[in-house]
Amino acid sequence: MRTFVLRARAASTNSQTLMDNVGGDAHSEILAHTLMNAIFVAQSHRPDVVVHLVLESTQDYSRTITFVAAEMRDIGGFHEQALLAKVDETSWEFIVEQSGLTLEDIELSARMYARANNVIMCWAMGITQHRHSVPTIQEVANLMLLRGNIGKPGAGLCPVRGHSNVQGDRTMGINERPPAFFLDALEKRFQFKVPRDNGHNVVEAIHAMLEGRSKVFIGLGGNFAQATPDSPRTFEALRNCDLTVQISTKLNRSHLMHGKEALILPCYGRTDIDIQAEGPQAVTVEDSFSMVHASNGQLKPLSPHMRSEPAILAGIANATLGKQPVDWLWLVADYSRIRNLIADTIPSFQDFNEKIKNPGGFYLGNAAGARRWNTPSARANFKPNALPSDLLHESIRGTGIVPDLIMQSMRSHDQYNTTIYGLDDRYRGVKGQRDVMFLNEADIIRLGFVPGQKADIVSIWGDEVVRRVKGFTLLPFDIPAGQAAAYYPEVNPLVPLESVGDGSHTPTSKFVAIKLERHSEVARII
């Protein structure tokens, strides 16, 4: 039981007068906040709290109002006992086993975090490319909320994107499940019936092409064939299309994995000077900190036949739709006209063209950063999750095969996304090669190999597909026992298309169950 006595000096003891003075002399908002701080911990309702509010008038007369938290009704939000119960039912042995860390290291990290006044929690694809990525990130948010590190200067959550301007794409509605408000805004502004059915995420798109439900693939930049999981099946999916179109800044492997008909449309990169019918143009980008700024190219395009990405898309739209629902060629002649339409339809982009004139661009804002909770209760919602009983997917466990290792894919130093600029990895001391796998030296010996030996890697999944890459050199590295790492896209063939994050549909490239087999050189006739 926690009991508080709160004195409100010079407060009216007359209920009507007290209400009339809300926000004024009574400073009732201060009283309300004090009550909230007493009854709530991290926005959690504490039923064991009693607060006695003593109203003291100037006439030496007082009245006491008692608030019993356990008897209060219609209090929404997260109840801390739900989280505590999840924590209490989880053994330390279980936590240590799943984390791969020692109890001492976990406790040290906890003490460091608890002592810190301001904490920024960052994560990247090492978190998101897991089956349990959604509950993991929910728990990260829970922890940061509990410690008051959201909506505080010098603190907060920072997801690190895997590609440039990924967040900008999302903000502009590039979403297989766009929110209703965005679709409503499009309909209102452009006066046409917007499709309401969900589209395809990457994995769903590959399945649709494999099954013949999708016949045309248009890629706006990127290297789809190399960036995606289960590479041979992805290649098959692209080849199964009637038409593949690649709008690209450079040649890549996707151009070789094409449909019955194929187009490669060279386009400007952001470094190229973009001149349209009405003069030089700037494009806009959004970074991980919700800053939007203009980007102007500095280099002369390599060919007069190249077009900008907006110009290519506007040309396709004009050829198929004419001037409906907009005059596409007029729009692309001056990108500021496109930005005006964005300002009409997407929140926080009012006066878009004026805002990007500011040095460094402008800040889109972040509701959570301002402690505005866009939830039905207008409060921060906690989402407690139990640790999964088994990290192995049932499609792995069901095979009866015990994995030798759990492998993750990663980039090297001289690599940007799927573009490889060199064969050296200064991060890890590797030179002149990429078909390598990093293991704990004890694991190399345990599995019957020696450091530097080549092995074939086979992934485990409960289907009839054989997923294998050959001739990878085993390199001892400072990595936890039972774990392994290798470069993508070289090991993308090992990631099953069906192995995705629950609720995110993200391929699980950071958790691939594998076996190692002896590598045998293929005999060749020279």
Task: Please report, for the domain that includes residue 425, its CATH number.
Answer: 2.40.40.20
Q: What is the rounded CA–CA span in Å between residue 471 and residue 501?
A: 29
For residues 33 and 110, membership in a common domain is answered with: no
Q: What is the pLDDT of residues 353-404, one digit of tens each?
A: 999 999 889 999 888 888 999 888 888 888 888 888 889 999 999 999 999 9
- Alpha-carbon gap, residue 328 to 339, rounded angstroms: 13
Dmax over CA atoms of the chain, in Å, equals 109
Helices (H), 191-272: 202-210, 224-227, 231-239
**Is residue 233 domain-shared with residue 374, that is, in the same domain?**
no
Residues 88 and 220 placed together within one structural domain of the fold: no
For residues 484 and 403, membership in a common domain is answered with yes
Residue 329: per-residue pLDDT: 97
Residue 17 belongs to some domain of the structure: yes
Question: How, if at all, do strands 405-410 and 512-518 pair?
Answer: antiparallel
pLDDT given for residue 75 in this prediction: 59
Q: Are residues 372 and 354 in the same domain?
A: no
Contacts for 130 with CB less than 8 Å, ≥ 6 apart: 136, 501, 508, 510, 511
pLDDT at residue number 53: 79
CATH number of domain containing 18: 3.40.1280.10
Q: Is 304 helix (H, G, I), strand (E, B) or coil?
A: coil
Same domain, 360 and 243: yes
For 54, the token pair is: 């003593």
Same domain, 326 and 216: yes
User: Which positions of the chain have pLDDT values less than 50?
Assistant: 26, 42-43
User: Is the same domain home to 99 and 155?
Assistant: yes
The answer to the question of residue 186 being in a domain is no
| Domain limits for position 94 | 77-160+365-389
Residue 458 has, within 13 A of its CA and on its CB side, a CA count of 16
Q: Write down the pLDDT at residue 259.
A: 97
- The 10s digit of each residue's pLDDT in 63-72 is 788 888 777 7
pLDDT value for 89: 81
pLDDT at position 69 is 78
Predicted pLDDT at 74: 60
How far is it, in rounded angstroms, from Cα 55 to Cα 59? 11
| Domain membership flag for residue 116 | yes
Q: What is the DSSP letter of 454?
A: E
Please report whether residue 44 resides in a domain: yes
Question: Which residues fall within 8 angstroms of residue 121, CB to CB, at 6 or more apart?
Answer: 140, 143, 144, 149, 156, 157, 158
Please give the mean pLDDT across all residues of the chain.
Answer: 89
Residue 375 tokens, joined: 């939830």
